[in-house]
Amino acid sequence: MMFIASTRLSANPIDSMLPKAETSDISVPIFDDGPVGEMINAFMSVFLFLIAITIKGWDSLFLKYLNT
């Protein structure tokens, strides 16, 4: 995905520094900011978390931070 920097002036200077997507980009509508996209993002977060626990193990993932 290509991004271009916005040069327009706005009330928020941080907003004008953030990259803006080009209008010619093809967007996948299922990953938009709607409720379906939120559900997919939540599902993917839980799914990747479970994969990380399966690969790494619950103990080595958390117990080193708890110092027990």
The pLDDT, as a whole number, for residue 35 is: 79
3-class secondary-structure state, position 20: strand
The pLDDT, as a whole number, for residue 32 is: 58
Q: Of 53, 18, 51, whose CA–CA distance to 6 is shortest?
A: 18
Model confidence, pTM = 0.37
The pLDDT, as a whole number, for residue 45 is: 82
Q: What are the 10-residue block averages of pLDDT along the chain, 68 residues in total? A: 46 58 53 72 82 74 64
The pLDDT, as a whole number, for residue 4 is: 46
Residue 6 per-residue DSSP state: -
